[in-house]
Amino acid sequence: MWSADEVAGLCYTHYSTKLPKQGKPDPNRQWTLLAAVVKVESATEREACLNVGNLQVTKEVVAMGTGTKCIGHARMRKTGDILNDSHAEVVAKRSFQRYLLHQLWLAASHQQGSIFSPGTESGKWKLKPHITFIFFCSHTPCGDASIIPMTKPEDQPCELVSRKDPTRHSAECSGNHDPVGPENKRKMEETARDHVIKRIKTVIGDSTCEVTERIAAQYVPGNQQNIQDTDPSCSEFITDGQREILMCAKETGLIGTKVMDVYRTGAKCVLGERDDARRPGVEYHHVGLLRVKPGRGDRTCSMSCSDKLARWNVLGCQGALLMHLLQHPVYLSAIVVGKCPYSQEVMRRAVIERCQHISFLPDGFHVQEVKMLQSNLQFKHSRHAIQTAHANGKAKLVPCGAAISWSAVPEQPLDVTSNGFKQGTTKKGIGSCQTRCGGGPGSVRWNFSMYSKG
């Protein structure tokens, strides 16, 4: 019906041909992220009966977003005229909500081509059964889904914590810790002195598990089948340190391979939540935690894209306002990720498994078993693509400061924003209707009120 490469190619083509140059990164020194929603429309039951063996499936990009920035707490506004979160995934989701609202207006106006049909409840609408939506993102979402075991140290986008200097780490990837105080510094220095390789051989079935404690390189050798059959959480033959390493390897399918480190996320654990251990190697992060996006100085209040995707996978992508008009939530049927560091198990943990304990949801809501796939096609303006193209260049590569929002709607389909406002907005113009983004909270509320009056 469709493939991951087909979806990625469709999104990349749309980005290149439908979006203007304004808001896109300078390929000589900037990179950005891309996300989109693709509508998949299969044949209806009637068409399937009439055209057996020649079923047509149409795919169309209906929402798209780019961006890498997020504003801090101090710059947030209650009036809804600023975008707090301009990461590509969130911008695309807002654009998708604009598309859904327009489709609801078409249905309520009895016009042709709407994706909705009347529901069984009065005044409510439901998605037509032959229509589904795929979410595409050019990179794994920030937060929990980005904490992926790595087997090549050179692939680490953040600096490795070495045995010789365990206190050294990239500021970009630091957790929500206070600056290292004298007591913590002393403890870390003691850790450095004790940083010796301890090889502990433990018999697990017929295999030998050789564990290297407190170093960046962790190895889980031995007979793969025997280790797979062992439950690390309850084995009486292994220590706590070995158990954590073995659990990590088993969950990510890396039994028998050398796990050098984990790809780190800049997203910080929420206040009051368990914090990252920041130990060398695979123990740098704790997984499964709620995180907020990093900010420059001023802490943000925006949850990581992994957390937001997990929420959308339970509550739907329509938002609270549109739910007043819908009989059922609008769920994603699949998530496709572009070529980048990726783990199917980690994505599933971040988006689905963390929410499986949720119960007592309202009728129609559930934890969606969303399909997850990765494409082999790389986004041309991704960080890795730009770095590769300018490997010998001296210019510092930086994330693009602008964000693009595009939606398949007839009025104002495109917005380019910077620092949360429409590009070109002056201080005097802040707060006016003319400077509001089409996908911003203020505009969405206004459009919803117009729909309700109509």
Which residues carry out catalysis? 89
d(CA 261, CA 249): 11
Q: How far is CA 357 from CA 305, 312, 344, 360, 368, in A?
A: 20, 16, 20, 10, 13
What count of residues does the chain have? 454
Strand, coil or helix: what is 354?
helix
The dihedral of CA 444, 407, 267, 347: what is its sign?
A: positive
d(CA 294, CA 69): 9
Rg over CA atoms, the chain: 24
Structure tokens at 362: 């309202």
- The answer to whether the beta carbons of residues 68 and 399 sit under 8 Å apart is yes
- The answer to whether the beta carbons of residues 348 and 148 sit under 8 Å apart is no
Strand, coil or helix: what is 422?
strand
d(CA 290, CA 305): 10
- The answer to whether the beta carbons of residues 437 and 83 sit under 8 Å apart is yes
Q: Which amino acid is at 296?
A: R
Structure tokens at 173: 């990837």
Q: Rounded to 5 degrees, what are φ and ψ at 416? A: -120, 125
Structure tokens at 92: 């695309």
- The answer to whether the beta carbons of residues 49 and 394 sit under 8 Å apart is no
